[in-house]
Amino acid sequence: MAKVSGTAVAVGGLVGGYGVARWTERRPLGGVVLAAAGAGAAREWRKAAGTRAAVGLTGAYVAAFAGSHPLAKKVGAWPSVFGVAGAVALASWAVTRDSAA
């Protein structure tokens, strides 16, 4: 079975969660996508870098979701989502890069 990185799962959850909420007009459905991806990313982060790293990166994931809302008022919804997803990806890469080898 192919390994999927926590980084990819987290980015997919942030972007996909917003996309699902927007296109279905059902915010709770987007929340389900966001939560499921967050749980999957946390599991992969724990495997890759340990529990402390997973807790920290999960906190960054939740903060990115929360921070995307006020940021969207300044730059627009999609730029905000892509910006916070990029920030989470960078944090995830920085924390887990040594364990990827």
Q: Convert the pLDDT of each residue in 53-77 to its tens digit.
A: 999 999 999 999 999 999 999 999 9
Rounded Cα distance, 5 and 48, in Å:
9
CA atoms within 13 A on the CB side of 49: 22
pTM score: 0.91
pLDDT for 99: 64
Condensed to tens digits (0 to 9), the pLDDT of residues 14-44 reads 999 999 999 999 999 999 999 999 999 999 9
Residue 101, pLDDT > 60, answer no
CA atoms within 13 A on the CB side of 1: 3
Interior angle at CA 39, CA 96 and CA 24, nearest 5? 120
Rounded Cα distance, 24 and 40, in Å:
23
* Greatest Cα-to-Cα distance within the chain, rounded to the nearest angstrom: 42
